[in-house]
Amino acid sequence: MNAAPEKTKHGLAAGLEAAPENPDWTIDQGWERYSAEEHGVWKTLFERQSKLLPGRACRAFVEGMQQLPMRADEIPDFRRVSDVLMKHTGWQVVAVPGLVPDDVFFDHLANRRFPAGQFIRKPHELDYLEEPDVFHDVFGHVPMLMNPALADFIQAYGQGGMRAKELGVLDKLARVYWYTVEFGLLQEDGGLRIYGAGIASSRTESLFCLEDPSPNRIRFDLERVMRTRYRIDDFQESYFVIRDLDELLELAQIDFAPIYQRVGQAGDLQPGEVLESDQLFTRGSGDYHRARRAAANASTDADTDAAART
Ligand SMILES: [Fe+2]
Protein backbone atom coordinates (compact mmCIF):
# COMPACT_ATOMS: atom_id res chain seq x y z
CA MET A 1 0.00 0.00 0.00
CA ASN A 2 2.71 2.44 0.90
CA ALA A 3 4.80 1.55 -2.13
CA ALA A 4 5.05 4.99 -3.64
CA PRO A 5 4.81 5.32 -7.38
CA GLU A 6 8.27 5.95 -8.67
CA LYS A 7 8.18 7.25 -12.13
CA THR A 8 10.94 9.66 -12.85
CA LYS A 9 9.86 13.19 -13.58
CA HIS A 10 11.21 16.70 -13.81
CA GLY A 11 12.86 16.39 -17.15
CA LEU A 12 12.81 12.66 -17.63
CA ALA A 13 11.07 10.04 -19.71
CA ALA A 14 8.75 11.60 -22.23
CA GLY A 15 7.10 9.59 -24.96
CA LEU A 16 8.93 9.62 -28.27
CA GLU A 17 5.75 10.52 -30.13
CA ALA A 18 6.12 14.02 -28.69
CA ALA A 19 9.61 14.52 -30.15
CA PRO A 20 10.04 17.93 -31.73
CA GLU A 21 12.06 18.68 -34.84
CA ASN A 22 15.40 19.26 -33.13
CA PRO A 23 17.14 16.08 -31.98
CA ASP A 24 18.04 17.81 -28.70
CA TRP A 25 14.35 18.63 -28.20
CA THR A 26 14.98 22.35 -27.87
CA ILE A 27 12.40 24.78 -29.18
CA ASP A 28 12.17 28.52 -29.45
CA GLN A 29 10.84 29.91 -26.18
CA GLY A 30 8.63 32.26 -28.16
CA TRP A 31 8.77 34.83 -25.39
CA GLU A 32 6.92 37.42 -27.43
CA ARG A 33 3.96 35.07 -27.73
CA TYR A 34 3.11 34.68 -24.03
CA SER A 35 -0.33 36.12 -23.31
CA ALA A 36 -1.20 38.60 -20.58
CA GLU A 37 -2.95 35.77 -18.74
CA GLU A 38 0.23 33.64 -18.84
CA HIS A 39 2.35 36.50 -17.50
CA GLY A 40 -0.35 36.94 -14.86
CA VAL A 41 0.00 33.33 -13.67
CA TRP A 42 3.76 33.86 -13.35
CA LYS A 43 3.12 37.03 -11.33
CA THR A 44 0.74 35.30 -8.92
CA LEU A 45 3.20 32.47 -8.34
CA PHE A 46 6.25 34.75 -8.16
CA GLU A 47 4.70 37.08 -5.60
CA ARG A 48 3.43 34.23 -3.48
CA GLN A 49 6.82 32.49 -3.30
CA SER A 50 8.76 35.74 -2.89
CA LYS A 51 6.82 36.42 0.32
CA LEU A 52 7.28 32.92 1.61
CA LEU A 53 10.90 32.14 0.87
CA PRO A 54 12.95 34.72 2.82
CA GLY A 55 14.12 32.89 5.95
CA ARG A 56 13.04 29.56 4.45
CA ALA A 57 15.16 29.31 1.30
CA CYS A 58 18.93 29.17 1.70
CA ARG A 59 21.07 32.26 1.08
CA ALA A 60 22.36 30.92 -2.26
CA PHE A 61 18.80 30.77 -3.60
CA VAL A 62 17.90 34.27 -2.44
CA GLU A 63 21.15 35.77 -3.73
CA GLY A 64 20.89 33.91 -7.05
CA MET A 65 17.39 35.25 -7.52
CA GLN A 66 18.47 38.81 -6.81
CA GLN A 67 21.18 38.66 -9.45
CA LEU A 68 18.98 37.25 -12.22
CA PRO A 69 16.73 39.22 -14.58
CA MET A 70 13.58 37.80 -13.04
CA ARG A 71 10.74 39.87 -11.75
CA ALA A 72 7.11 39.52 -10.87
CA ASP A 73 5.49 41.12 -13.91
CA GLU A 74 6.60 38.78 -16.64
CA ILE A 75 7.78 35.31 -17.49
CA PRO A 76 11.55 35.61 -17.87
CA ASP A 77 13.14 35.69 -21.29
CA PHE A 78 15.54 32.71 -21.37
CA ARG A 79 18.02 34.68 -23.52
CA ARG A 80 18.43 37.33 -20.84
CA VAL A 81 18.53 34.79 -18.01
CA SER A 82 21.17 32.79 -19.89
CA ASP A 83 23.35 35.88 -20.43
CA VAL A 84 23.64 36.38 -16.67
CA LEU A 85 23.90 32.70 -15.84
CA MET A 86 26.63 32.18 -18.43
CA LYS A 87 28.75 34.90 -16.86
CA HIS A 88 28.45 33.38 -13.40
CA THR A 89 28.64 29.61 -13.87
CA GLY A 90 28.73 28.93 -17.62
CA TRP A 91 25.17 27.57 -17.71
CA GLN A 92 22.35 28.48 -20.03
CA VAL A 93 18.62 27.80 -20.07
CA VAL A 94 17.12 26.16 -23.17
CA ALA A 95 13.41 25.83 -23.88
CA VAL A 96 11.81 22.39 -24.27
CA PRO A 97 8.13 21.50 -24.72
CA GLY A 98 7.93 19.52 -21.45
CA LEU A 99 9.48 16.25 -20.31
CA VAL A 100 12.31 15.00 -22.52
CA PRO A 101 13.85 11.51 -22.80
CA ASP A 102 16.56 10.54 -20.30
CA ASP A 103 19.50 10.64 -22.69
CA VAL A 104 18.51 14.05 -24.06
CA PHE A 105 18.11 15.39 -20.52
CA PHE A 106 21.48 14.05 -19.39
CA ASP A 107 23.23 15.37 -22.48
CA HIS A 108 21.91 18.87 -21.82
CA LEU A 109 23.00 18.80 -18.19
CA ALA A 110 26.43 17.37 -19.00
CA ASN A 111 26.90 20.37 -21.31
CA ARG A 112 25.63 22.92 -18.81
CA ARG A 113 22.33 23.53 -20.54
CA PHE A 114 19.28 23.44 -18.34
CA PRO A 115 16.16 22.32 -20.25
CA ALA A 116 13.19 24.35 -19.04
CA GLY A 117 9.53 23.84 -19.87
CA GLN A 118 8.39 26.65 -22.15
CA PHE A 119 4.74 26.58 -21.04
CA ILE A 120 3.16 27.86 -17.84
CA ARG A 121 0.46 26.15 -15.80
CA LYS A 122 -3.17 27.28 -16.08
CA PRO A 123 -4.72 29.61 -13.49
CA HIS A 124 -6.80 26.74 -12.03
CA GLU A 125 -3.75 24.51 -11.44
CA LEU A 126 -1.50 26.81 -9.43
CA ASP A 127 -0.63 24.17 -6.85
CA TYR A 128 -0.38 21.00 -8.87
CA LEU A 129 1.02 20.19 -12.25
CA GLU A 130 1.80 17.00 -14.10
CA GLU A 131 4.91 18.22 -15.88
CA PRO A 132 7.46 20.85 -14.84
CA ASP A 133 6.57 24.21 -16.34
CA VAL A 134 8.50 27.46 -16.68
CA PHE A 135 7.75 28.46 -13.10
CA HIS A 136 9.10 25.24 -11.63
CA ASP A 137 12.08 25.08 -13.97
CA VAL A 138 13.12 28.73 -13.99
CA PHE A 139 11.98 30.12 -10.63
CA GLY A 140 12.79 26.85 -8.83
CA HIS A 141 16.02 25.73 -10.48
CA VAL A 142 17.80 28.67 -12.04
CA PRO A 143 18.68 30.71 -8.90
CA MET A 144 20.57 27.66 -7.59
CA LEU A 145 22.40 27.29 -10.93
CA MET A 146 24.04 30.62 -10.07
CA ASN A 147 25.84 28.77 -7.28
CA PRO A 148 29.12 27.19 -8.46
CA ALA A 149 28.80 24.06 -6.29
CA LEU A 150 25.27 23.23 -7.43
CA ALA A 151 26.16 24.14 -11.01
CA ASP A 152 29.00 21.59 -11.00
CA PHE A 153 26.91 18.98 -9.22
CA ILE A 154 24.13 19.06 -11.82
CA GLN A 155 26.65 18.78 -14.64
CA ALA A 156 28.17 15.74 -12.91
CA TYR A 157 24.67 14.31 -12.55
CA GLY A 158 24.21 14.60 -16.32
CA GLN A 159 27.51 12.81 -16.91
CA GLY A 160 26.67 10.13 -14.35
CA GLY A 161 23.20 9.67 -15.80
CA MET A 162 24.38 8.07 -19.00
CA ARG A 163 26.63 5.68 -17.09
CA ALA A 164 23.83 4.78 -14.68
CA LYS A 165 21.52 4.09 -17.60
CA GLU A 166 24.04 1.70 -19.14
CA LEU A 167 24.46 -0.06 -15.78
CA GLY A 168 20.70 -0.34 -15.35
CA VAL A 169 20.72 1.63 -12.10
CA LEU A 170 19.10 4.86 -13.17
CA ASP A 171 16.45 4.53 -10.47
CA LYS A 172 19.18 4.69 -7.80
CA LEU A 173 20.80 7.78 -9.29
CA ALA A 174 17.46 9.49 -9.87
CA ARG A 175 16.81 9.26 -6.12
CA VAL A 176 19.96 11.29 -5.47
CA TYR A 177 18.72 14.02 -7.82
CA TRP A 178 15.26 13.87 -6.31
CA TYR A 179 16.38 14.21 -2.70
CA THR A 180 18.95 16.96 -3.46
CA VAL A 181 18.26 19.12 -6.52
CA GLU A 182 14.47 18.71 -6.27
CA PHE A 183 13.66 18.24 -2.58
CA GLY A 184 16.87 18.99 -0.69
CA LEU A 185 17.26 20.86 2.58
CA LEU A 186 20.49 22.18 4.04
CA GLN A 187 21.77 23.43 7.37
CA GLU A 188 22.24 27.18 7.68
CA ASP A 189 22.27 29.65 10.57
CA GLY A 190 21.35 26.99 13.09
CA GLY A 191 18.27 25.83 11.20
CA LEU A 192 17.11 24.05 8.06
CA ARG A 193 16.69 25.86 4.76
CA ILE A 194 15.30 24.94 1.32
CA TYR A 195 17.53 24.54 -1.72
CA GLY A 196 15.49 21.99 -3.74
CA ALA A 197 13.56 23.37 -6.71
CA GLY A 198 10.53 21.14 -6.19
CA ILE A 199 10.08 22.77 -2.81
CA ALA A 200 11.12 26.33 -3.70
CA SER A 201 8.52 26.45 -6.48
CA SER A 202 5.70 25.09 -4.28
CA ARG A 203 3.88 27.20 -1.70
CA THR A 204 2.43 24.26 0.20
CA GLU A 205 5.60 22.16 0.25
CA SER A 206 7.74 25.15 1.31
CA LEU A 207 5.68 25.20 4.50
CA PHE A 208 5.24 21.44 4.90
CA CYS A 209 8.92 20.51 4.56
CA LEU A 210 10.08 22.91 7.26
CA GLU A 211 7.15 23.42 9.59
CA ASP A 212 4.86 20.39 9.57
CA PRO A 213 5.47 17.75 12.27
CA SER A 214 4.69 14.93 9.84
CA PRO A 215 7.82 14.36 7.67
CA ASN A 216 11.17 12.95 8.74
CA ARG A 217 14.17 15.23 8.35
CA ILE A 218 17.24 13.06 8.07
CA ARG A 219 20.95 13.79 7.63
CA PHE A 220 21.87 13.06 3.99
CA ASP A 221 23.75 9.81 3.43
CA LEU A 222 24.43 8.80 -0.16
CA GLU A 223 23.77 5.06 0.10
CA ARG A 224 20.74 5.58 2.28
CA VAL A 225 19.26 8.02 -0.23
CA MET A 226 19.96 5.72 -3.18
CA ARG A 227 17.88 3.07 -1.43
CA THR A 228 14.95 5.35 -0.64
CA ARG A 229 11.88 5.40 -2.83
CA TYR A 230 10.14 8.72 -3.21
CA ARG A 231 6.71 10.19 -3.69
CA ILE A 232 5.96 11.79 -6.99
CA ASP A 233 2.29 12.54 -6.33
CA ASP A 234 2.39 14.24 -2.94
CA PHE A 235 4.65 15.85 -0.34
CA GLN A 236 7.75 13.84 0.57
CA GLU A 237 7.59 11.64 3.66
CA SER A 238 11.30 12.20 4.33
CA TYR A 239 13.60 15.07 3.49
CA PHE A 240 17.39 14.71 3.50
CA VAL A 241 19.60 17.45 4.87
CA ILE A 242 23.08 18.28 3.60
CA ARG A 243 25.69 20.16 5.66
CA ASP A 244 26.15 22.81 2.98
CA LEU A 245 26.33 23.06 -0.80
CA ASP A 246 29.98 22.02 -0.84
CA GLU A 247 28.82 18.58 0.25
CA LEU A 248 27.32 18.22 -3.24
CA LEU A 249 30.71 18.93 -4.79
CA GLU A 250 32.21 16.16 -2.67
CA LEU A 251 29.46 13.83 -3.92
CA ALA A 252 30.29 14.74 -7.50
CA GLN A 253 33.84 13.39 -6.99
CA ILE A 254 32.75 9.93 -5.83
CA ASP A 255 32.81 6.90 -8.11
CA PHE A 256 29.25 5.59 -7.79
CA ALA A 257 29.87 2.20 -9.48
CA PRO A 258 30.82 0.20 -6.35
CA ILE A 259 28.09 1.99 -4.40
CA TYR A 260 25.40 0.91 -6.87
CA GLN A 261 26.39 -2.68 -6.21
CA ARG A 262 26.12 -2.38 -2.43
CA VAL A 263 22.87 -0.46 -2.68
CA GLY A 264 21.40 -3.07 -5.02
CA GLN A 265 22.15 -5.79 -2.47
CA ALA A 266 20.81 -3.79 0.47
CA GLY A 267 17.35 -3.37 -1.06
CA ASP A 268 14.91 -0.49 -1.26
CA LEU A 269 13.42 1.51 1.60
CA GLN A 270 9.94 2.97 1.72
CA PRO A 271 9.69 6.78 1.62
CA GLY A 272 8.74 7.15 5.29
CA GLU A 273 10.97 4.45 6.74
CA VAL A 274 13.42 5.40 9.51
CA LEU A 275 16.57 3.37 10.22
CA GLU A 276 18.44 3.09 13.50
CA SER A 277 21.53 4.34 11.73
CA ASP A 278 19.76 7.55 10.59
CA GLN A 279 20.90 10.84 12.03
CA LEU A 280 17.59 12.54 12.61
CA PHE A 281 16.87 16.23 12.76
CA THR A 282 13.18 15.39 13.19
CA ARG A 283 11.45 12.08 13.59
CA GLY A 284 8.22 12.79 11.77
CA SER A 285 4.81 11.89 13.20
CA GLY A 286 3.78 10.52 9.79
CA ASP A 287 0.28 11.87 10.44
CA TYR A 288 -0.15 13.59 7.09
CA HIS A 289 0.56 10.55 4.92
CA ARG A 290 -1.26 8.20 7.32
CA ALA A 291 -4.40 10.28 6.86
CA ARG A 292 -3.92 10.34 3.09
CA ARG A 293 -3.56 6.56 2.97
CA ALA A 294 -6.65 6.09 5.14
CA ALA A 295 -8.64 8.35 2.83
CA ALA A 296 -7.37 6.47 -0.24
CA ASN A 297 -8.29 3.13 1.39
CA ALA A 298 -11.74 4.39 2.26
CA SER A 299 -12.39 5.45 -1.33
CA THR A 300 -11.04 2.13 -2.66
CA ASP A 301 -13.38 0.27 -0.28
CA ALA A 302 -16.27 2.42 -1.45
CA ASP A 303 -15.41 1.62 -5.08
CA THR A 304 -15.26 -2.08 -4.29
CA ASP A 305 -18.65 -1.94 -2.55
CA ALA A 306 -20.13 -0.13 -5.49
CA ALA A 307 -18.68 -2.71 -7.89
CA ALA A 308 -20.04 -5.58 -5.77
CA ARG A 309 -23.56 -4.15 -5.98
CA THR A 310 -23.58 -3.89 -9.75
FE1 LIG B 1 12.74 20.05 -11.47
Mean per-residue pLDDT for 272-301?
A: 93
CA of 137 to the centre of ligand 1 (A): 6
Question: Is 289 one of the annotated active-site residues of the chain?
Answer: no
What are the sequence ranges of the domains in the chain? 19-297
Q: What is the CATH number of domain 19-297?
A: 1.10.800.10
Q: What is the pLDDT of residues 212-259, one digit of tens each?
A: 999 999 999 999 999 999 999 899 999 999 999 999 999 999 999 999
Instruction: Determine if residue 108 is labeled as part of a ligand binding site.
Output: no
- Please indicate whether residue 108 is annotated as part of the active site: no
* DSSP codes joined into one string, 108-143: HHHTTEEEEES----GGGTT--SS--HIIIIIIIHH
Q: How far is the CA of 123 from the centre of ligand 1 (A)?
A: 20
Which of 10, 82, 108, 182 is catalytic? The answer is 182
**182 annotated binding-site participant:** yes
Report the alpha-carbon distance of residue 38 to residue 75 in Å, rounded: 8
Residue type, 22: N
What does each C-alpha distance from 195 to 102, 192, 248, 257, 300 come to in angstroms?
23, 10, 12, 27, 36
Which among 213, 242, 265, 215 is positioned nearest to 153, based on CA atoms? 242
State in Å: Cα 309 to ligand 1 middle: 44
pLDDT in tens, 172-185: 999 999 999 999 99
Q: What is the pLDDT of residue 17?
A: 53
Per annotation, catalytic residue among 10, 108, 136, 289: 136
201 is an active site residue: yes
* pLDDT value of position 310: 38
Mean pLDDT of 99-126: 94
Known active-site residue 141: yes
Q: Is 141 annotated as a binding residue?
A: yes
Cα torsion 89, 54, 94, 28: sign: negative
pTM of the model: 0.91
Residues 6+ apart with CB under 8 A from 18: 97, 98
Least confident of 48-57, 58-67, 96-105: 96-105
pLDDT at 18 over 70: no
